Amino acid sequence: MKLSLVVPCYNEAENVEAFQEATIKAFENCGYQYEIVFIDDGSKDATMHNLRKLHQKQKCPVKVISFSRNFGKEAGIYAGLSQTCGDYVCIIDADLQQRPEIARQMVQILDEHEEYDMVAAYQDRRGESKVLSFFKRRFYSIINKMAKVDVKSDASDFRTFRRSVANSILELTEYHRFSKGIFAWVGFNTCFIPYVACERVAGKSKWNFRSLANYAIDGIIGYSTKPLRFATFLGGFTSFASMIYLIIVVLQKLISGIDIPGYATIIVLILLLGGIQLLCIGIIGEYVGRTFEQSKTAPSILQKKFWIINNLKSDTRVSDFSFL
Ligand code: UDP
Ligand code: MG
């Protein structure tokens, strides 16, 4: 098998068949074998029903993984990767915003350029809303300043890479997965190509401002300890400023006999210091929380149970799969 396409799907009932058709068309006469690994990420619509049909027909080799609930795209990518057998692996969305034709081009680039291990598409943002573009740019500049890895601006998860890269990614078993960071962390020679995201064929985006903000925090906390350093500096600075203020107050009292400033000052200081303390505890808490979750390597949490459909005629078979 030359290529495995990993396709995470969450409520993509109307898209999965169209995706398969578009893929078959895009890879017509390509002269090599490819498979599609769909991951149903606990969809609430008919996605699983439709995937089952695609699996039964096997118009092209199709594997289906079904999660028992929604675990998120990152978990889907990991599970999908673990089931691939291609020499190359392509991660691509189900909604056809990322065209399979580009995936074919990526394979061609890898074939022709041995020096590259991965071809990644980055989004050409012309035409995107200015507000969203602004926040995305800020995010990339913050993460690149903070993190120890270099995350390419606008690089998406839409990429194709060699088996060696897939194996390296599978070795990273962190609980809070942030694939942009993971791709940057594993390294390898990457060729970046631009692409323009098409309109969704059907359904709507699963991302909103809140989930994007959470994703950004996962990225920053997962790849940098600089927020902890920031908390230390903030604490040091406020302690220093308080000491100065204390000296000023004492001197004022001793030299000029001025009364200790009143209620308002005290309340403001208490609130300010309380706020700073809570902020720092929050930052530390983020890291402690992640350490806690990562330390729970007990099977109950990390061995998520999912179904792998591997029987054409009858029903599904449950597989206990060592996951994450
Ligand atoms: N997705 C998923 N699990 C989720 C959310 C999204 O598997 O919890 C899949 C989704 O079905 C799609 C891909 O991830 O194939 C990208 O999602 P979406 O199109 O909503 O993101 P956008 O293109 O808006 O960034
Ligand atoms: Mg999309």
**252-278 confidence digits (pLDDT tens):** 878 887 766 677 778 778 888 888 888
- On whether the CB atoms of residues 222 and 176 are closer than 8 A, the answer is yes
- On whether the CB atoms of residues 192 and 118 are closer than 8 A, the answer is no
Please indicate whether residue 40, judged by its CB atom, sits closer than 6 Å to ligand 1: no
- Model confidence at 302, in pLDDT bands (50, 70, 90)? very low
Task: Specify the pairing of strand 88-91 against strand 305-309.
Answer: unpaired
Atom of ligand 1 nearest to the CA of 97: 23
- Model confidence at 161, in pLDDT bands (50, 70, 90)? very high
- Model confidence at 126, in pLDDT bands (50, 70, 90)? low
The predicted pLDDT at position 102 comes to: 94
Chain segment 80-123, per-residue pLDDT in tens: 898 899 999 999 999 998 999 999 999 999 999 999 999 999 87
Two tokens, residue 192: 């970046």
The predicted pLDDT at position 260 comes to: 65
Atom of ligand 1 nearest to the CA of 9: 11
Please indicate whether residue 206, judged by its CB atom, sits closer than 6 Å to ligand 1: yes
Ligand nearest to the CA of 75: 1
The region of weakest confidence among 29-43, 69-83, 133-147, 285-299 is 285-299
The predicted pLDDT at position 317 comes to: 37
Please indicate whether residue 97, judged by its CB atom, sits closer than 6 Å to ligand 1: yes
Q: Can you tell me the distance from the alpha carbon of 6 to that of 28, in angstroms, rounded to the nearest whole number?
A: 19
Q: Can you tell me the distance from the alpha carbon of 196 to that of 214, in angstroms, rounded to the nearest whole number?
A: 25
Q: Which residue has the tokens 């300043």?
A: 145
**Residue 58 CB partners (closer than 8 Å, separation 6+):** 312
200 or 255: whose pLDDT is higher?
255
pLDDT at 185 over 70: yes
Atom of ligand 1 nearest to the CA of 94: 15
**Residue 235 CB partners (closer than 8 Å, separation 6+):** 276, 280
User: Which whole-number Å values give the CA distances from 40 to 5, 51, 139, 153, 270, in the listed order?
Assistant: 14, 8, 29, 29, 51
Q: How far is the CA of 45 from the centre of ligand 1 (A)?
A: 14
Q: Can you tell me the distance from the alpha carbon of 158 to that of 139, in angstroms, rounded to the nearest whole number?
A: 19
Q: pTM of the entire structure?
A: 0.76
